[in-house]
Amino acid sequence: MELLLSKPVVVTLAIIGAVLSTAASFLQTRGYVSERTGKALNWAGYSVMGASMLLFIVAGLRGVPG
């Protein structure tokens, strides 16, 4: 559990989520993916970012050092 609450894991999840959401917008604007696929990528990106925020909050409440 401590590994999931570590700073590198939380930051990596946030970055992956941001990349997914950015890629969804970019690919959909350029016409490389359909609207449905773009929405799915965007949803996945926000889900990963949400998981990162949740882990950040849990780490703070548990007092896990960065």
Tens of pLDDT, residues 35-64: 999 999 999 999 999 999 999 999 999 987
| Residue 66 confidence class, pLDDT cut points 50, 70, 90 | low
Q: Residue 1, SS3?
A: coil
Please check whether residue 20 is in contact with residue 37, taking contact to mean a CB–CB distance below 8 angstroms. Answer: no
- Average pLDDT value for residue range 7-29: 96
- Which amino acid would we find at residue 39? K
Give the pLDDT of residue 55.
95
- Average pLDDT value for residue range 20-33: 96
DSSP code for 31: T
